C-alpha cells in the first residue's frame, strides 16, 4: 500500500499525479519554513541588536501571532476569490503577496513595526495559499492517492521546518554577528514562493472547478492531462464529476447561506473545524515554533538547543515521509487519530513527571533525565507525524461537495490559523510561567480531542469525493452512484454526448 498503491490508468498519469500533488504542497513548505525560522531567529544576538528590544517573550509572541492573524483572515475570506478566479490564479497571486511581505521583513529598517507589517502581509499570502492548495490537490488527485497527496502538505511542512532549523543553526555558528545573520534565513522564503507561483504557469486549472463553471472542454483537457490518459476509466470519472455537480446545482440555483446550515453540511463544517483545532491542541505546532525555548526548559541554555532543534526537524521530516509513502492509504483515518491522541498524552505526562522529579540542569549541562525527556518529546513528534500532522489536510478537503468546498476548506484552514494564532500567542508566556507543566496542559487537550474523534469522526479512506455523499447520507448520494455505474457501462461515449445528458439533468 502507500507508494505501492495500484492506481488505474497509465504510468504517466500516476507519475504526474505524484508530481502535481507534491508540487502544489510547496505552500505547506512555506508554512513549515516560516514556522521553524522564528524561534531560531529570535535567539540570534544580531536580531536583538538590530531591533533593540528587551522583552523577548513579548516579541516572540507578537512576531508569530501577527502573521497567523493575517493568515486566518485570508484563509477565511479567500474562498470567494478562488471561486471566481480559480484555484491556480489565486495561489499565484497569494505567492506574490507573500513575497512582498518577506521583502518588507528583510529590508534594513531596524523597526519592529515594519517587520510586523511584513509578517502580516506575508501571513495574508500564506493563509490564502494554504487554504486553496488542499482543495486544488483533492480536486485533481485520483481517489487511490488522495490521502497520500493531501498529506503532502504536512510532509512539505516538515521539510520546511527541518531546513529552517538547520539554516538557523548554520548562521548562528558559521556567520559573524551582523544583519545578514538573520536576513538570510528570512529572505530565503522568497525562493519556494517564486517556485510555486511561477511553476503554476505550466499547470492546468482544477478539473472540478472548470466543470462547475461549465467549461467542460477545458475540464476534460485538464482531467486527461493529470491522468495521462483519455480511456474509458477517465471518461467514467469525468461523467461522475459532471453528474455529481449537476445534482448539486439542481438542488438550488446558487450557493445560499442556508445550505451551510443544513444538518449534513453543518456536520461537515464542524468536523473540518474540529480536526484542525485538534491539530493545534496536540501542542506540536507550538513546539515547532518555539522548539529552542522548549528544549531550554529540559536541557538548559546554550547552542546545543539549536542543534537538538535541527535533529528534531530532521526526525519530523523522516517520520511524516515514512507515513505518507507507506501507510497513508493503508491506515483508516479515524482510529489513527484517536489512538495517537492517547499515546501523545501519555508521552507528555511522562516528560513533565520526569522533569519535575529529577534535578534541573546545572551550568547549562544536560542531565541524563533531561536527555530522556528530549527522547520522549522526539517519540511524541513521531506519533504526531503519523497522525494529527498530515491527516487533517486531506480529510478536510475531501469531505465537502464541490458546491461548498471553497467555503468548507476555508473554514477548516482558517480554524487552523486561528488556533495557531492563539496558541502561538500564549505559549511563550506558558513556558515562562509553567515550565514543563506546559506539556501536561497539552496532554489534557490530546485526551479531549481523541475522545471527540472516537465519538464523531466519519471514516473516508478509499472513497471518491463524490462518494462522500453516501458517507454523509446526502440526498444526492443515489444519483452520484448511479452516474458512476452508467459511466463505466458507456465508457466509449464522447464528452459532448455526456455534456448533453448533464444539461438534461439540470433541466436546460
Query: Per residue in 229-277, pLDDT tens?
Result: 888 888 888 988 888 777 666 654 455 556 666 777 888 889 989 998 9
The three cell numbers of residue 42 are 529570535
Query: Per residue in 278-307, pLDDT tens?
Result: 998 998 877 877 777 778 777 766 666 777
Q: What confidence score (pLDDT) does residue 249 get?
A: 65
In the chain, % helix, strand, coil (3-state, to 5) comes to 80, 0, 20
pTM, 2 dp: 0.71
Cα dihedral: 265, 269, 270, 272 (round 10): 140
- Residue 306 inside a domain? The answer is yes
Region of 507 (left: φ > 0; alpha: ψ -120 to 50; beta: rest) is: left
Q: What confidence score (pLDDT) does residue 481 get?
A: 54
Query: Per residue in 481-497, pLDDT tens?
Result: 555 555 555 554 554 55
| Mean local confidence (pLDDT), 8-35 | 87
Residues 61-65: contacts with CB under 8 Å, at least 24 apart: 61/424, 61/425, 61/426, 61/427, 61/428, 61/429, 62/116, 63/38, 63/115, 63/116, 63/119, 64/38, 64/289, 64/424, 64/425, 65/421, 65/424, 65/425
Q: Which of 142-146, 331-335, 431-435 has the highest mean pLDDT?
A: 331-335
Q: Pick from 97, 116, 94, 90: which is nearest to 105 by CA?
A: 116
Query: Per residue in 375-400, pLDDT tens?
Result: 888 999 999 989 998 888 888 878 88
- Residue 165 inside a domain? The answer is yes
Q: What confidence score (pLDDT) does residue 260 get?
A: 67
Q: What confidence score (pLDDT) does residue 252 get?
A: 44
CATH code (residue 34): 1.20.1250.20
The DSSP code for 389 is T
Residue 5's CB is within 10 A of a number of other CB atoms, namely 16
| Residue whose C-alpha cell is 477565511 | 76
Q: What confidence score (pLDDT) does residue 508 get?
A: 52
- Residue 220 inside a domain? The answer is yes
The DSSP code for 175 is S
Asked whether the beta carbons of 468 and 399 are under 8 A apart, the reply is: yes
| Residue 368 pLDDT > 90 | no
Bigger pLDDT: 483 or 106?
106
The three cell numbers of residue 244 are 455529481
| Residue 103 pLDDT > 60 | yes
Cα 7 to the center of its chain, rounded Å: 24
Q: Which of 48-52, 452-456, 460-464 has the highest mean pLDDT?
A: 452-456
User: Could you tell me the maximum CA-CA distance found in the chain, to the nearest angstrom?
Assistant: 79
Q: Pick from 343, 318, 383: which is nearest to 158 by CA?
A: 318
- What does the mean pLDDT of the chain come to? 83
What separation in angstroms does the CA of 378 have from each of 62, 67, 314, 336?
A: 27, 27, 10, 19
What separation in angstroms does the CA of 4 have from each of 31, 145, 151, 320, 475?
A: 28, 10, 16, 17, 35
% pLDDT > 70, the chain: 86
Q: Which of 17-31, 139-153, 418-432, 463-477 has the highest mean pLDDT?
A: 17-31
| Residue 188 pLDDT > 90 | yes
The H-or-E segment that residue 303 falls in is none
Q: Which residues contact 154 (CB under 8 A, 6 or more apart)?
A: 28, 320, 324, 385, 389, 390, 393
Lowest mean pLDDT among 129-133, 214-218, 374-378, 412-416: 412-416
Q: What confidence score (pLDDT) does residue 310 get?
A: 83
Name the CA radius of gyration of the chain, rounded.
23
Cα separation, 198 vs 196, in Å, equals 6
- Residue 57 inside a domain? The answer is yes
- Residue 504 inside a domain? The answer is no
| Burial class for 80, CB neighbours closer than 10 Å (0-12, 13-18, 19+) | exposed
- Residue 98 inside a domain? The answer is yes
How many Cα atoms sit within 13 Å of 408 on the Cβ side? Answer: 31
Cα separation, 216 vs 99, in Å, equals 34
- Residue 76 inside a domain? The answer is yes
Q: What total of structural domains would you count in the chain?
A: 1
| Mean local confidence (pLDDT), 303-319 | 81
Cα separation, 30 vs 36, in Å, equals 10
The three cell numbers of residue 234 are 477517465
Cα separation, 90 vs 84, in Å, equals 9
**Residue 140 belongs to what domain range?**
2-471
Q: Pick from 314, 332, 323, 311: which is nearest to 374 by CA?
A: 311
Q: What confidence score (pLDDT) does residue 502 get?
A: 47
Cα separation, 347 vs 332, in Å, equals 23
3-state secondary structure 86-132: CHHHHHHHHHHHHHHHHHHHHCCCCCHHHHHHHHHHHHHHHHHHHHH
- Residue 483 inside a domain? The answer is no
Query: Per residue in 125-138, pLDDT tens?
Result: 999 998 899 889 98
Q: Where are the beta strands (DSSP E) in 243-374?
A: none
Q: Pick from 277, 269, 27, 21: which is nearest to 128 by CA?
A: 27
Amino acid at each position: 500500500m502507500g507508494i505501492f498503491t495500484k492506481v488505474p490508468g497509465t504510468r504517466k498519469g500516476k507519475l504526474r499525479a505524484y508530481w502535481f500533488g507534491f508540487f502544489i504542497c510547496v505552500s505547506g513548505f512555506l508554512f513549515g519554513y516560516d514556522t521553524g525560522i522564528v524561534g531560531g531567529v529570535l535567539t540570534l544576538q544580531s536580531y536583538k541588536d538590530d531591533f533593540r528590544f528587551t522583552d523577548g517573550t513579548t516579541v516572540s509572541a507578537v512576531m508569530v501571532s501577527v502573521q497567523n492573524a493575517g493568515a486566518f483572515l485570508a484563509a477565511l475570506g479567500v474562498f470567494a476569490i478562488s471561486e471566481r478566479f480559480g484555484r491556480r490564479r489565486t495561489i499565484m497571486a497569494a505567492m506574490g503577496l507573500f513575497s512582498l511581505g518577506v521583502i518588507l521583513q528583510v529590508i534594513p529598517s531596524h523597526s519592529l513595526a515594519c517587520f510586523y507589517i511584513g509578517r502580516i502581509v506575508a501571513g495574508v499570502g500564506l493563509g490564502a495559499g494554504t487554504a486553496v492548495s488542499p482543495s486544488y490537490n483533492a480536486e485533481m488527485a485520483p481517489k487511490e492517492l488522495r490521502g497520500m497527496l493531501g498529506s503532502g502538505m504536512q510532509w512539505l511542512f516538515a521539510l520546511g521546518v527541518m531546513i529552517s532549523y538547520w539554516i538557523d543553526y548554520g548562521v548562528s555558528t558559521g556567520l559573524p554577528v551582523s544583519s545578514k545573520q538573520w536576513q538570510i534565513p528570512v529572505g530565503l522564503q522568497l525562493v519556494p514562493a517564486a517556485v510555486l507561483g511561477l511553476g503554476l504557469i505550466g499547470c492546468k486549472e482544477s478539473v472540478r472547478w472548470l466543470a462547475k463553471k461549465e467549461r467542460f472542454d477545458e475540464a476534460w483537457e485538464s482531467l486527461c492531462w493529470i491522468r495521462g490518459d483519455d480511456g474509458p476509466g477517465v471518461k467514467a470519472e469525468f461523467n461522475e464529476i459532471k453528474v455529481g455537480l449537476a445534482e448539486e446545482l439542481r438542488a438550488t440555483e446558487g450557493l445560499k447561506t442556508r445550505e451551510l446550515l443544513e444538518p449534513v453540511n453543518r456536520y461537515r463544517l464542524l468536523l473540518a473545524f474540529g480536526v484542525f483545532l485538534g491539530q493545534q491542541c496536540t501542542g506540536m505546532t507550538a513546539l515547532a515554533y518555539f522548539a529552542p525555548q522548549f528544549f531550554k526548559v529540559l536541557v538548559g541554555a546554550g547552542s546545543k538547543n539549536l542543534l537538538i532543534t535541527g535533529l528534531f526537524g530532521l526526525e519530523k521530516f523522516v517520520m511524516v515521509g515514512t507515513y505518507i509513502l507507506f501507510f497513508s492509504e493503508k491506515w483508516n483515518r479515524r482510529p489513527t487519530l484517536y489512538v495517537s491522541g492517547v499515546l501523545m498524552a501519555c508521552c507528555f505526562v511522562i516528560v513533565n513527571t520526569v522533569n519535575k522529579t529529577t534535578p534541573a540542569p546545572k551550568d547549562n549541562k544536560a542531565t541524563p533525565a533531561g536527555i530522556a525527556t528530549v527522547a520522549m518529546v522526539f517519540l511524541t513528534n513521531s506519533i504526531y507525524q503519523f497522525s494529527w500532522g498530515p491527516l487533517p489536510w486531506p480529510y478536510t478537503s475531501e469531505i465537502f461537495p464541490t458546491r461548498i468546498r471553497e467555503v468548507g476548506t476555508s473554514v477548516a484552514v482558517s480554524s487552523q490559523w486561528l488556533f495557531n494564532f492563539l496558541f502561538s500567542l500564549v505559549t511563550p508566556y506558558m513556558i515562562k510561567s509553567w515550565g514543563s507543566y506546559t506539556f501536561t496542559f497539552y496532554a489534557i487537550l490530546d485526551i479531549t480531542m481523541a475522545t471527540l474523534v472516537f465519538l464523531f469522526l466519519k471514516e473516508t479512506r478509499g472513497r471518491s469525493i463524490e462518494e462522500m455523499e453516501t458517507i454523509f447520507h446526502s440526498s444526492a448520494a443515489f444519483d452520484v452512484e448511479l452516474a458512476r455505474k452508467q459511466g463505466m457501462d458507456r465508457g466509449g461515449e464522447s464528452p459532448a454526448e455526456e455534456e448533453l445528458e448533464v444539461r438534461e439533468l439540470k433541466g436546460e
